[in-house]
Amino acid sequence: MKRHPERVVTWRGLLEDMGKGIGVASGGHDCQETRWLLEAASGMSLEKLTLSMDEAASPEAMTTLQEMLVRRDSGEPLQYVLGSWGFRSLDLRVDSRALIPRPETEVVVETALVEIGASRCGSGGHGLKVADLGTGTGAIALSIALEGRTLVEEVWASDLSGDALDLAALNLEGLREVAPEAAAKVRVVQGSWYEALPEHLAGCLAVIVANPPYVAEAQLSDLPVEVRSWEPLQALIAGPTGLESLEAVLFGAAHWLAGSGCAVVEIGADQRDAAVEIACEAGLDDVSVRSDLAGLPRVLVARVS
């Protein structure tokens, strides 16, 4: 009997099969998503993978891809399956220890950087100290350290979760490899909000920035299944009203901010009026709310006199 050679599976063939939902996948996958998964499984850059589409895929990569597809089809977020995700100019390690960095939070960073650039808290505009409360992956703190490195002297990144801080520390090491001078500005500390900060920072911070939990307990069921089933609830749910963490950040701000310093805080799209009221009750001035890329109220900015 004549033997037929085994079929050679190319990267292009894998990509086509994934799009059709062949094999492990229970259904077709988004074209961009399949390319990201294939890139991660192959260990090649997207550019190199594109040039290698008609080459045979390695058995190891095929096994890795199969495992990734099983995880994705179980509902696990794409970002966790990939293990990394882009945020502004960073490539961050991401997993279930912390929230997935989102575009809305990139607007928070942009707002904080504008405030840092305009700050009069440092000597001649330099040597500024910044705190990122509830740092999670470290996305905000590391972005500020990198993009504001000519102005910022120290960026304090705090979180109550030791697991989240371990993840932030991994991302800090990643930053150290590409921008050691920026990474050297970051201090990672554990504790609840301001409790993590050393007292000598009181009255010295130019900017306090935070993306705190802002979902009310009763709103949990309104979140997408992919979010509430996989991302850490302690980083999502603030309490009965959804304003508890925002209150903790704003009511502590005046003690820690330098004169003319400001707090930059991400809020829920339906929390603008409540957030402004809390900021005023906390003794902060010049309160405003900026919109995100979708035009929704997202970033509260409040100052001390």
Alpha-carbon gap, residue 123 to 90, rounded angstroms = 29
Per-residue pLDDT at 140: 98
| Residue 232 forms part of a structural domain | yes
pLDDT digits (tens, 9 = 90+) for 226-248: 999 999 999 999 999 999 999 99
> Quick check: helix, strand or coil at residue 121?
coil
Are 242 and 266 members of one domain? Answer: yes
Which pLDDT tens digit goes with each residue over 34-57? 889 999 999 988 888 888 899 999
Please give the model's pTM, rounded to 2 decimal places. Answer: 0.91
Residue ending a domain, choose from 50, 74, 98: 74
**188 touches 165 (CB < 8 A):** yes
Q: Which tokens in the block code for residue 32?
A: 């961009």
Structural domain includes residue 1:
no
Domain hosting 15: range is 11-74
Same domain, 28 and 103: no
61 and 134 housed in the same domain: no
Domain count, the chain: 2
The answer to whether residue 280 sits within a structural domain is: yes
Nearest in space to 235 (alpha carbons), one of 146, 51, 45, 102: 102
Residues 46 and 145 in one domain: no
Instruction: Looking at the structure, tell me whether residues 16 and 164 fall in a common domain.
Output: no
User: pLDDT, tens digit, for every residue of 203-220?
Assistant: 999 999 999 999 999 999
CATH of the domain at 264: 3.40.50.150
122 and 206 part of one domain? yes
**Domain boundary residue, one of 74, 96, 117:** 74
Say if residues 73 and 34 touch (Cβ distance below 8 Å).
no
pLDDT of the residue at 47:
85
Cα dihedral across residues 89, 296, 242, 95: positive or negative = negative
Determine the pLDDT at residue 1: 42
What would the mean pLDDT of 113-142 be, rounded to a whole number?
88
Residues 120 and 57 in one domain: no
Same domain, 211 and 249: yes
Helix axes 162-178, 139-147, angle to 10 degrees: 30
Strands (E), 80-219: 84-87, 90-93, 128-133, 152-159, 186-190, 205-210, 215-216
Say which range, 46-55, 153-162, 236-245, 283-292, has the weakest mean pLDDT: 46-55
122: confidence class by pLDDT, cuts 50, 70, 90: low
Per-residue pLDDT, 126: 60
Is residue 80 domain-resident? no
φ, ψ (nearest 5 deg) of residue 199: -65, -25
* Long-range Cβ contact pairs of 2-9 (< 8 A, separation 24 or more): 8/56, 9/56, 9/57, 9/62
* pLDDT tier at 24, thresholds 50, 70, 90: very low
Choose one of 26, 50, 74: the last residue of a domain: 74
In a domain, 6, yes or no: no
pLDDT on residue 6? 57
67: in domain: yes
Same domain, residue pair 36 and 147: no
Tell me whether residue 41 is in a domain: yes
Residues 69 and 205 in one domain: no
129 with 219, same domain: the answer is yes
Same-domain status, 130 and 268: yes
Position 79 in a domain = no
Is residue 296 helix, strand or coil? Answer: coil
